[in-house]
């Protein structure tokens, strides 16, 4: 746990359900977590909610998206797609030399069951275009329910991790494990279209089969760890 | 089984491993199967191999791709991506008013672990552009190992079915079941990028984790059937 105690993770848009759930899991695992929001007051409230859930001893602080990005080594983006570009542009300078984890699914209402990717190919590739060469970008956690993360229900779904380098993907796979999930190296950032697009496929399956939390598991692989 | 006895399925490129495996499964389930190939002699050989595997009582005939497409109600395309456009153009007229099932994965060597889709968005959408309005196009079976289909190993992988209408997807879900697999309605044809792209993700997982047949299962859904 020595490494995790040293690392600070910023969760931008961390007042949303998904971000709050991830922040909770990582704080529980010993990471220092900064909740970011456009308005710091909302982030402070979210941080105190998480501290309450964890009954004390954790390090969770609420602040603005920009300050959170500035103070963290790893920056996780959990805003709705409509705020994706604007949020990234507002923290771009603070991200240089760091690792960005993009949780965004580019759903375009009202056709949530139809894959509709931005011109860059996926939200993660769009993020890479915005933040530039000196930021590693990894896509992950798109299909994890916040209800699971907050411990209210079981989840039997894996996390596929795509990104700009194998090293960056490995770092995020450590965060996946720390959150109590099973992760898989799903290849280069061009493969993000598959993982982000799976959200629409799973929404369609929920609609067709009357389920609420369709997920996926990788099969046929024996893991040594 | 009354319906299946009436239906004829053409498997274009059915001399390849994948096509032969599917033809075997459907013949076993009682469908009349036409194996198509550029050269009918190769298709005749493949058909007799399948008849031998089934020990007789089935209806499997080898012929050219064009004749197979002309005589079938459902046409399944199992050629390598390099032959995708050419094969479709050669049978386009014969496909009008029918159902086309596209099994193609648009892998571009040597980067098999990287998703690289054609300008249409996916092989299935490219097929739709080629064959036109009067052909329903469904994408399925991209990630099923022929070794499983020929009964040589176990498979714990589901089939995601995308396509131009819910009715067409339902027809193909019947074929998935007839082949002994579990299928899921994965939504409109625009979602084919996810299912075709999964091939690269699974190839990457096989490479990173030393496995041979990584697959996926849908979780969190209770099926009534």
Lowest mean pLDDT among A74-78, B86-90, B151-155: B151-155
A186 and B205 in contact by Cβ < 8 A? yes
Determine the pLDDT at residue B145: 79
On chain A, the residues whose CB falls within 8 A of the CB of B157 are: 219-220
Encoded tokens for B141: 């079976």
Angle at A153 between CA A152 and CA A158, to 5 degrees: 125
Task: Give CA separation, B181 vs A1, A53, A146, B164, B184, in Å.
Answer: 43, 43, 31, 21, 10
Q: What is the mean pLDDT of residues B22-41?
A: 94
User: What pLDDT sits at residue A140?
Assistant: 97
How many residue contacts between A and B have a Cβ separation below 8 Å? 140
What is the per-residue pLDDT for B1?
Answer: 47
pLDDT at A159: 97
Whether the bond between A110 and the residue before it is cis, its omega within 30 degrees of 0, is: yes
Mind listing the pLDDT tens digit for each residue in B179-214? 999 999 999 999 999 999 999 999 999 999 999 889
Query: Bridge-partner residues for B161, per DSSP?
Result: B185
ipTM (interface pTM): 0.91
The residue-averaged pLDDT of A138-166 equals 88
Tokens of B184: 């899921």
Per-residue pLDDT reduced to its tens digit, B105-137: 998 888 999 999 999 999 999 999 999 999 999
Tokens of B110: 């040597």
**Is the pLDDT reported for residue B87 higher than 70?**
yes
Judge: B221–A201 Cβ closer than 8 Å, yes or no.
no
Section A47-75 average pLDDT: 92
In this predicted structure, the answer to whether residue A151 has a pLDDT above a threshold of 90 is no
Q: Per mean pLDDT, which range of A164-173, B5-14, B78-87 is the poorest?
A: B5-14
Residue A157 scores a pLDDT above 50: yes
Nearest to A205 among B156, B185, B211 (CB): B185
Is the sign of the CA dihedral B62, B64, B67, B71 positive or negative? positive
Torsion angles phi and psi, residue B54, rounded to 5 = -90, 0
Tell whether the model's pLDDT for residue A99 goes beyond 90.
yes
Chain B residues with a Cβ under 8 Å from any Cβ in chain A: 113-117, 155-157, 160, 162, 184-188, 190-191, 193-195, 197-198, 200-202, 204-206, 208-209, 211-223
Tell me which residue in A191, A200, A209 faces B115 most closely, judged by beta carbons. A191
Residue A220 CA to residue B115 CA, distance in Å, equals 21
Q: Which H/E stretch holds residue B113?
A: none
* A208 contacts on B by Cβ (under 8 Å): 184-185
- Is residue A60 within 8 Å of residue A50, measured between CB atoms? yes
pLDDT at A57: 67
Which pLDDT tens digit goes with each residue over B59-84? 999 999 999 999 999 999 999 999 99
Alpha-carbon distance values, B25 to A206, B28, B78, B143 (Å): 29, 5, 14, 16
Instruction: Find the CB nearest A219 among B156, B208, B212.
Output: B156
By C-alpha distance, the chain A residue nearest B197 is A194
Q: What is the mean pLDDT of residues A130-147?
A: 93
| pLDDT value at residue B5 | 55
- Which pairing describes strands B215-219 and B60-64: parallel, antiparallel, or unpaired? unpaired
User: For residues A45 and A41, what is the distance between their CA atoms, to the nearest angstrom?
Assistant: 6
Phi and psi angles of residue A165, each rounded to the nearest 5 degrees, phi first: -155, 160
Q: Compute the C-alpha angle A142/A203/B99, nearest 5°.
A: 125
Q: What angle is formed at CA B176 by the lines to CA B174 and CA B177, rounded to 5 degrees?
A: 65
Query: Is the model's pLDDT at B161 over the cut of 90?
Result: yes
User: Which pLDDT band, with edges at 50, 70 and 90, does B4 fall under?
Assistant: low
């Amino acid at each position: 746990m020595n490494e995790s105690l040293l690392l600070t993770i910023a969760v931008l848009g961390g007042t949303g359900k998904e971000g709050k759930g991830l922040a909770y899991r990582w704080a529980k695992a010993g990471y220092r977590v900064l909740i970011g929001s456009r308005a710091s007051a909302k982030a402070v409230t979210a941080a105190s909610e998480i501290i309450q859930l964890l009954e004390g001893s954790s390090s969770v602080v609420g602040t603005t998206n920009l300050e959170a990005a500035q103070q963290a080594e790893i920056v996780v983006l959990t805003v709705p797609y409509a705020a994706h570009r604007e949020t990234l542009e507002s923290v771009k300078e603070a991200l240089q030399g760091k690792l960005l984890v993009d949780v965004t699914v580019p759903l375009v209402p009202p056709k949530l069951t139809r894959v509709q990717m931005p011109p860059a190919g996926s939200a993660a590739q769009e993020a890479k275009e915005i933040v530039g060469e000196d930021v590693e970008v990894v896509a992950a956690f798109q299909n994890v329910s916040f209800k699971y993360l907050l411990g209210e229900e079981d989840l039997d779904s894996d996390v596929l991790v795509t990104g700009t380098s194998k090293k960056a993907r490995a770092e995020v796979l450590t965060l996946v494990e720390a959150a109590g999930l099973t992760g898989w190296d799903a290849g280069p950032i061009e493969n993000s279209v598959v993982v982000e697009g799976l959200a629409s496929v799973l929404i369609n399956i929920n609609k067709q089969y009357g389920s609420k939390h369709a997920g996926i598991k990788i099969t046929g692989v024996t893991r040594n760890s």
